Structure 1
């Protein structure tokens, strides 16, 4: 038996049945459930007298509410998509732009279609599956079968081109990321301060030579947002600063783990950070070094640095005064920093930055989708947007689960 899984933003599974009905004779199909709400479809191809045919079995599952983010949910499909997103993130890709598109595609998936072939995806069954992928604008995940002529795990597009395998290889050159407008949140009337903020951000970006979209909604207004407390921000900085030293190779994971436990910070260390400290591989170290930008944003929110600076300029944590930084080695004590962190910038200032980086992040994603050069440094913009979203409790997401929707 061989199998593969199709992932699509489409929710109308009547399209799958119609495609199978167009490909196979009616007598070859068996449907479980109602035609407009089927549970499974079985197709038998090449069945002849005294000879068993090849069988294709199709099942599916969907989000209860279609969407375009991976918010907290007990739904198995969303939990699976979050795992898929984390799996793709840790792959060191030959084509990082294509990997970014795949990461953008995963949160837009609404339906998972599992296809099993017995004994294998022969020519006829393969053709039926590829037709279905085109109909659904789907991507494939497979551990290898005759469709893709490989035994390596990976993702393929609807044409059969390799998007990304576990070794980081690709043959595809682009991937379309689409979101149906009807799946967006119900429209609400934005607050006046939010609309003014949007206008200022667009003007500021225009002056910087960055084209963004006026169609993007504003971020929440001051009355509709909760900014994290000074104590919560300071604690997050203290953990990030310690973990970051492992990313740069200054300390090993065991030393930082002991430090965090000694200073009662271990309970505030996220599952992702704990996993990193336990096994800091080189690719994860590289990703973790980017958290410098998040540390910079959080220090700014605590009034420890005067400004975020330019979107093309990497932050320099060495410029932060010693008394305003929580970690100066395993013998340092974060207590003074945590005690002194008592004020947070006004919500208006944090929302101004959040709205600006949200629109700049959109501009970077839009440029990648069009195979154009990003107008500003995409890594800096993304990491700062990430921290700003955490600061405003965006969708009530915890640190490891923060999304930067654009």
Structure 2
């Protein structure tokens, strides 16, 4: 068995899945978790380009607060990076300028991608790993593996050139340090409103025995947020409600496709939803059933349900009044629902909920990283955070691409 770690400033792990699928073929890759927020990728023997008896497993973890500096706190990724920084600093480098560039690179790392090969990184696996490094502009730390044909512990760049080993040797001559410009655009002095919201929700979670990091930043306040319109929310929940019936097996894909086309909602249906309706695979059905929680959040935003309820309790869509639910079967019409959806909750209510689920999601992710039991139901928290991020136009991302950064 061989392993190495790819370190990157990038936080978009969907790139990894896309690249691995492009290399090995979509059917060869088993995904644990959702495509847009996967937890583990496994490529096994007998698949395209992979020799019999070989397996590649990929996992990852990220800073709680992505950035480009190392500020000491209790974040496990930061703790690891600080140790790495000290390790690089004390190495007897022959090329001290390159060592300084490596130190600068370490400070910008946001994501650790762990690569585990069984029994080894053969030529096929090496090619895939190097493609990832190029995609993520990453650096490697490893020892005794086929990728770099070495028995020495050290750091390598995305081209395979040696940056620095434990003996101070290098073959690379330069290292580029790229930083996402968005980190320089962050609000330096959070408003009192945003700070007060943060403190209230930290205390609320503490009262529920959910401990979250005090180092997480505030979210945007009312002056910086433009909510989705009531029309956009109504159209989105109307599509979700229809697609959800296929996830649970109540209707088949063609029936729902016909319904969405008939009522001019097909153009509101995302590429991922269309692909699911055309070919509803079993694993995707399971993922789509969780969209009940997203539907619940959007109905709450439209004031169709009075509250989000307990954070750790599954929603019950049967509690929604019939006139307040957009889909009542393929023979029904969403027209009355869409016409009545003219009002959305005020920004303060939605931002309060978004901030709360953001901090709760961090607590669940942190527990999972540590191998501990999540303090809340992670599926509920994740989906509600997802829908709330869409509502506040987080990073202006469309539905299929919403991120739930923690």
Shared fold (TM-score greater than 0.5)? yes
Q: 1:68 is matched with which residue?
A: 11
Report the CA distance between 1:159 and its aligned residue.
7.6
Whether the 8 Å CA contact 2:326–2:338 is kept in 1: the answer is yes
Q: 1:185 is matched with which residue?
A: 183
Q: Structure 2 vs 1, CA of residues 159 and 251 (structure 1 numbering), >3 Å: closer, same or farther?
A: farther
Normalised by the size of structure 2, how large is the TM-score? 0.64
Normalised by the size of structure 1, how large is the TM-score? 0.64
Q: 1:237 is matched with which residue?
A: 237
Q: 2:75 is matched with which residue?
A: none
Q: 2:101 is matched with which residue?
A: none
Q: Structure 2 vs 1, CA of residues 206 and 225 (structure 1 numbering), >3 Å: closer, same or farther?
A: same
Q: 1:117 is matched with which residue?
A: none
Q: Does 1:99 align with 2:40?
A: yes
RMSD: 3.9
Q: 2:121 is matched with which residue?
A: 147
Report the CA distance between 1:312 and its aligned residue.
1.2
- Where do 5+ consecutive residues of structure 1 fail to align? 11-65, 71-78, 111-134, 162-179
Distance (Å, rounded) in 2 between the aligned partners of 1:92 and 1:376: 23
Q: Does 1:297 align with 2:297?
A: yes
1:86-165 to 2 correspondences below 5 Å:
91=30, 93=32, 99=40, 102=59, 104=61, 139-140=114-115, 147=121
Distance (Å, rounded) in 2 between the aligned partners of 1:210 and 1:243: 33
Whether the 8 Å CA contact 2:290–2:383 is kept in 1: the answer is yes
Report the CA distance between 1:201 and its aligned residue.
0.5
Q: Structure 2 vs 1, CA of residues 372 and 220 (structure 1 numbering), >3 Å: closer, same or farther?
A: same
Report the CA distance between 1:8 and its aligned residue.
2.9
Distance (Å, rounded) in 2 between the aligned partners of 1:324 and 1:85: 43
- Where do 5+ consecutive residues of structure 2 fail to align? 42-57, 69-105, 133-140, 146-176
Whether the 8 Å CA contact 2:59–2:113 is kept in 1: the answer is no
1:7-406 to 2 correspondences below 5 Å:
8-10=6-8, 66-69=9-12, 80-81=15-16, 83-84=18-19, 91=30, 93=32, 99=40, 102=59, 104=61, 139-140=114-115, 147=121, 185-186=183-184, 187=186, 188-406=188-406
Report the CA distance between 1:69 and its aligned residue.
4.0
